[in-house]
Chain A
């Protein structure tokens, strides 16, 4: 099942944290094992924002194994040490939950591969997102619970995508929750509704090319697939169009970058998507009820067709 939602304001910023919370909460009947937000906030664009976790949420129906909370502190110390070894500097540090942290980092290189590999070489540590605008926040529970827990209601930005998950292909844990970061590309995130049936074939092929998978969730494949296409020189839109034949199964997915938001629908059109498009706002979700939470007035919406790929700029 699962529900996805996304919106992009063109030419202005808005309270995307609160808007996406409303959209995802309207979809909570599609799954509330976990909820994730990829928010593109207004920043000065100087430093990287790294959201990462040093452990799992073991409450709220989690399928993760309980760990002693002291290991979180040890992992954090090693992360800090590695960041310093990489020549980066932590400008601001927030520990939102014992296992979830947000760092603002001064780092000169635009190649995040070496940086990410070094940080994620620490067992139990996963970078949820890295970018100059993107922040991925995901945890167990419904949209409102996660929004309140991470205080996302005040986030102002241009665009956002999110996901309400009913766990089917992998466990109830943060590592399997959406959105997935388009590792190692700055500011790329993906959410997906559906099921990919050639996951293992693609995963083996991509791993042979040096790409990294953090979970066994089939949706992660989309982020990795697109990242690999972009690494090979393709544009985001070209990669998305290629994915219609490269990925097998049923899917509707959104992908967002620093300046754009895109959607793709499989050639069977088996997964739902309702779309509202105007000059200043594009809002889309698995059900119309999600769009209605931000646009209660009468509007014209439609279902994109099979094999359709669309990309909007801010």
Chain B
């Protein structure tokens, strides 16, 4: 429990009975000091060499052991790590906070590569629910299908699934780009707040339900629009941007982008832009 004492120099708010206590000791706010070396250390990151490559067979490891091993290999400077036999295990490759080439030869279970900030991930199989949840930056490419809640709450980076995805793709999305080569299920873009979703195939019911902001582009049929989601005309800059993104994602080479449907939020949020700057990564 923090040491609480009364401040004698009252502000107006304090004189009204608000904020009457002052926190002291360890709970005091510590301001950034550019002279202290610890302020330049990003915890949990390593300098890695992409040319230093190693294979890691996780067949006999549980997810904690496998993730610890990945961390250990990064600390030894390995910049390209190939994971063999993931066998649908959950939570593999989570929390990687630096640049890294991470390749999975097989399929992942739930919560794969969640909370990452920077790595380039390639998954040759399928992923289960909540892949790349809370991703901050980097690029994730899935060669096959993905489960529900794909890219839940992502804040940045490119998340690409070449196959089809389940329901609630991009739920609570706060930034970044999600690209789907196939179809997507119900409630795609549910409560999304920022960022963009590109779906080349069809989508299910309630597309963009309760979305605050962000854009969803759909190439195929739409099951139904959700509450607050409305269609908006495609512009040339939309087409150019999608073309660039698809090229980076290496999918949809001959896709007719001009026929896509653009879906945005139809509601007005008065002070929404003032609350969280688009690129503000620290506001977790």
Contacts and interface: CB of A to CB of B under 8 A. Distances in A.
Nearest to A290: B88
A306 interface: yes
Contacts of A306: 167, 185-186, 204-205
Contact of B89 (A269, A272, A274, A289): A289
Interface stretch (A5-13, A76-84, A132-140, A294-302): A294-302
Contact of A300 (B145, B165, B204): B145
Nearest to A289: B88
A204 to B, nearest CB: 30
A305 B144 CA distance: 16
Chain A, interface SS category: loop
B128 A288 contact: yes
Interface residues of A, number: 19
A20 interface: no
A287 B204 contact: no
Interface stretch (B47-55, B104-112, B211-219): B104-112
A301 B204 contact: no
Contacts, number: 75
Contact of A303 (B87, B89, B185): B185
A298 B107 contact: yes
A298 B90 CA distance: 16
A302 B148 contact: no
A289 B145 CA distance: 15
A298 B167 CA distance: 24
Contacts of A268: 167, 186-187
A298 B84 CA distance: 11
A269 B166 contact: yes
A300 B143 CA distance: 10
Contact of A287 (B88, B145, B146, B148): B88
A8 to B, nearest CB: 20
Nearest to A288: B88
Interface in A262-292: 267-270, 272, 274, 287-289, 291-292
A305 B186 contact: yes
B163 interface: yes
A300 B126 contact: yes
Nearest to A276: B126
Interface in B151-166: 163-166
B110 A287 contact: yes
Size class of the B contact interface (CB-based, 8 Å) = 20 to 34
Given A288-B128, A298-B106, A303 B186 contact: no
Contacts of B144: 300-301
B78 interface: no
B163 A302 contact: yes
A287 B126 CA distance: 12
Contacts of A301: 107, 126, 144-145
A227 B1 CA distance: 60
A300 B127 CA distance: 11
A272 B130 CA distance: 11
Contacts of B119: none
A269 B167 CA distance: 6
A36 B51 CA distance: 51
Contacts of B145: 300-303
A303 B109 contact: no
B77 interface: no
Interface string B181-195: 001011100000000
Contacts of B163: 302
Contacts of B106: 298
B175 interface: no
B220 interface: no
A269 B186 contact: yes
Interface in B104-140: 106-110, 124-126, 128-129
A292 B107 CA distance: 10
Most buried by B among A287, A298, A305: A305
A110 to B, nearest CB: 41
Contacts of A291: 88
Contacts of A303: 145-148, 165-167, 185
Contact of A305 (B89, B128, B167): B167
B58 to A, nearest CB: 13
A47 B185 CA distance: 45
Contacts of A287: 88, 90, 109-110, 128
A305 B72 CA distance: 39
B125 A298 contact: yes
Contact of B148 (A269, A288, A289, A300): A269
15 contacts: A268-B167, A269-B166, A272-B128, A272-B148, A289-B90, A291-B88, A298-B107, A301-B144, A301-B145, A302-B164, A303-B146, A303-B148, A305-B167, A305-B204, A306-B186
Interface of B: 87-90, 106-110, 124-126, 128-129, 144-148, 163-168, 183, 185-187, 204-205
Given A268-B167, A298-B106, A300-B126, 15 more contacts: A268-B186, A269-B168, A272-B129, A272-B148, A287-B88, A287-B90, A288-B88, A288-B108, A292-B88, A298-B107, A301-B107, A301-B126, A302-B126, A302-B145, A303-B167
Interface of A: 267-270, 272, 274, 287-289, 291-292, 296, 298, 300-303, 305-306
